[in-house]
Amino acid sequence: MKAELIDISACKKNLDIEIPEDIVDQEITHIAQELARRARVPGFRPGKAPMAVVKTRYRDDAALDAEIRRERD
Protein backbone atom coordinates (compact mmCIF):
# COMPACT_ATOMS: atom_id res chain seq x y z
CA MET A 1 0.00 0.00 0.00
CA LYS A 2 1.28 3.44 -0.91
CA ALA A 3 0.15 6.67 0.75
CA GLU A 4 1.16 10.19 -0.20
CA LEU A 5 0.24 13.43 1.58
CA ILE A 6 0.29 16.53 -0.63
CA ASP A 7 0.20 20.03 0.85
CA ILE A 8 -2.22 22.16 -1.15
CA SER A 9 -2.19 25.10 1.26
CA ALA A 10 -1.74 25.74 4.97
CA CYS A 11 -5.18 24.35 5.78
CA LYS A 12 -5.79 21.96 2.84
CA LYS A 13 -4.13 18.60 2.29
CA ASN A 14 -4.63 15.92 -0.31
CA LEU A 15 -4.15 12.27 0.65
CA ASP A 16 -3.58 9.78 -2.19
CA ILE A 17 -3.72 6.11 -1.23
CA GLU A 18 -2.97 3.26 -3.62
CA ILE A 19 -3.95 -0.30 -2.70
CA PRO A 20 -2.65 -3.17 -4.86
CA GLU A 21 -5.30 -4.68 -7.13
CA ASP A 22 -4.80 -8.23 -5.86
CA ILE A 23 -5.59 -7.17 -2.29
CA VAL A 24 -8.74 -5.34 -3.40
CA ASP A 25 -9.88 -8.31 -5.52
CA GLN A 26 -9.30 -10.66 -2.59
CA GLU A 27 -11.41 -8.47 -0.29
CA ILE A 28 -14.18 -8.15 -2.90
CA THR A 29 -14.28 -11.94 -3.31
CA HIS A 30 -14.51 -12.40 0.44
CA ILE A 31 -17.31 -9.83 0.73
CA ALA A 32 -19.14 -11.33 -2.27
CA GLN A 33 -19.06 -14.72 -0.54
CA GLU A 34 -20.67 -13.16 2.52
CA LEU A 35 -23.25 -11.40 0.35
CA ALA A 36 -24.00 -14.60 -1.57
CA ARG A 37 -25.10 -16.31 1.63
CA ARG A 38 -27.84 -13.78 2.31
CA ALA A 39 -28.50 -12.05 -1.04
CA ARG A 40 -31.81 -12.53 -2.82
CA VAL A 41 -31.05 -12.67 -6.53
CA PRO A 42 -34.02 -13.11 -8.89
CA GLY A 43 -34.01 -16.55 -10.52
CA PHE A 44 -32.02 -18.21 -7.73
CA ARG A 45 -32.89 -19.62 -4.34
CA PRO A 46 -31.67 -17.47 -1.44
CA GLY A 47 -27.99 -18.13 -0.88
CA LYS A 48 -27.61 -20.20 -4.07
CA ALA A 49 -26.70 -17.53 -6.63
CA PRO A 50 -23.39 -18.11 -8.49
CA MET A 51 -20.46 -16.03 -7.29
CA ALA A 52 -20.10 -14.32 -10.71
CA VAL A 53 -23.73 -13.15 -10.59
CA VAL A 54 -23.33 -11.84 -7.03
CA LYS A 55 -20.10 -10.02 -7.92
CA THR A 56 -21.71 -8.43 -10.98
CA ARG A 57 -24.89 -7.43 -9.19
CA TYR A 58 -23.28 -6.15 -5.97
CA ARG A 59 -19.87 -4.98 -7.26
CA ASP A 60 -20.31 -1.37 -6.08
CA ASP A 61 -21.53 -2.43 -2.63
CA ALA A 62 -18.67 -4.90 -2.26
CA ALA A 63 -16.09 -2.32 -3.34
CA LEU A 64 -17.43 0.19 -0.83
CA ASP A 65 -17.42 -2.41 1.94
CA ALA A 66 -13.85 -3.38 1.02
CA GLU A 67 -12.72 0.24 1.29
CA ILE A 68 -14.34 0.61 4.68
CA ARG A 69 -12.68 -2.59 5.95
CA ARG A 70 -9.25 -1.52 4.67
CA GLU A 71 -9.58 1.83 6.44
CA ARG A 72 -10.37 0.07 9.72
CA ASP A 73 -7.27 -2.12 9.41
Question: Residue 35: its pLDDT value, please?
Answer: 79
Q: Is 5 helix (H, G, I), strand (E, B) or coil?
A: strand
Question: Residue 7: its pLDDT value, please?
Answer: 92
pTM of the model: 0.57
What is residue 13's DSSP assignment?
Answer: E
User: DSSP string of 14-63?
Assistant: EEEEE--HHHHHHHHHHHHHHHHHH---TTS-TT-S-HHHHHHHTHHHHH
Asked if the model's pLDDT at residue 67 lies above 70, the reply is no
pLDDT digits (tens, 9 = 90+) for 4-30: 999 999 899 999 988 888 987 888 788
